[in-house]
Amino acid sequence: MSEINAKNIALLIDADNIDPNGIDAVLTVLAELGQVNIRRAYGNWAKDALRRWAELTNRYGIRPHQQFDLTRGKNATDMAMTIDAIDLLYQGKVDGFGIMSSDSDFTPLVSRLRQDGLPVYCFGDGKTPEALRTACTRFIDVGKLMRGEATSGSAPGKGENAVDEELIELLGGAWKAAQRDEEGFAKLQEVGQIAGNRSSFDVRNYGFRRLSELLQSLDRFELKRGTDGQLYVKRLR
């Protein structure tokens, strides 16, 4: 991707709600979408709990936004992030968003951003509510993402990140809905697009970097490369 044509991505971080250890992995994922030119973290920086975030802001070019706790039990950070996201949306200079938070209060915001056709990648922990997970274009478990990078080069998709039956049925349904040739093969790209439209799953949650790698690990699917250079997939059972 050339720098001239790279898409402009905005990363908005709920620093009150998410661990900073995954920021490097998150930026690596978003780099696949374009250049992360807007990087903002929101929280009450007077709190000791945000000290680790504060130490990382300069290293990663993140602009900290101060939000005081004006009322006990109310989170001003959520409101500030939402307002800024909508401002960026209407300025029309952003091609996609990254939301780093596990707070389900951002579900309406994510849905609104997607209504304008913008991809929204959400990064949270394993306890992120299903409502937020499914609202995103892709939801990525930061903990699993970091473990996947730490074990890069070893056999993925084992143990904790093992592929479940629900994902297999999702991929199988996407294959069935795709256009297939006389041998039953469908373009992998089309299968991935259909599955992405039906779910917010991301292969990184299962220890893989690409959908092709995930499918190659399963005995229920067969992959082949066509004469056009593209990958094709067929469900075997």
Please name which of 195, 194, 193, 214 lies closest in space to residue 204, comparing C-alpha atoms: 214
Q: Does domain 159-235 have CATH number 3.40.50.1110?
A: no
Beta carbons within 10 angstroms of residue 59's beta carbon: 9
Distance CA 226, CA 221 (A): 16
Stretches where the chain sits below pLDDT 50 are: 1-4, 73-74, 153-160
- CATH fold group of domain 8-150: Rossmann fold (3.40.50)
Distance CA 142, CA 208 (A): 13
Ranges of each domain in the chain: 8-150, 159-235
- State pLDDT tens for residues 163-218: 778 888 888 888 888 889 988 899 888 888 888 777 777 787 787 878 888 888 88
pTM: 0.73
